[in-house]
Amino acid sequence: MATGETGFDDVTFDLVSVQYHSLKAGHDYGQYVRDARNAGRDDIADFFQRVMDEDSARAKQCHEFLKELAGSADSGPAVS
């Protein structure tokens, strides 16, 4: 597995990136849910809630993969 300048392999970097963006988006979606509820659009609020739940599940899956990689030789020197 290739290791970039950061000492992390590409897969680890990619998982960290997806995890970060999923968590960041989830934070933003909380405001979207509130905005939709304040506008009386529970249908849209429910949609934003589903999107937030999906991002939360994505972040959790990344976390599980990262835990697996941390104990393997594939993680690169920055994670080992």
pLDDT in tens, 25-65: 988 999 999 999 999 999 999 999 999 999 999 999 999 99
In a domain, 3, yes or no: no
Measure the CA dihedral 9/76/1/12, to 10°: -30
Torsion of CA 53, 55, 56, 60, to 10 degrees: 140
Pick the more confident residue, 20 or 76. Answer: 20
Model pLDDT, residue 1: 46
**Residue 7: its pLDDT value, please?**
61
The band of 80, judged by pLDDT with boundaries at 50, 70 and 90, is very low
Domains identified in the chain, total number:
1
What one-letter code names the amino acid at 4? G
Query: Which tokens go with 67?
Result: 């835990």
**Rounded-to-integer distance, Cα 4 and Cα 24, Å:** 24
Q: Does the pTM exceed 0.75? A: no
Structural domain including 31 reads: 10-71
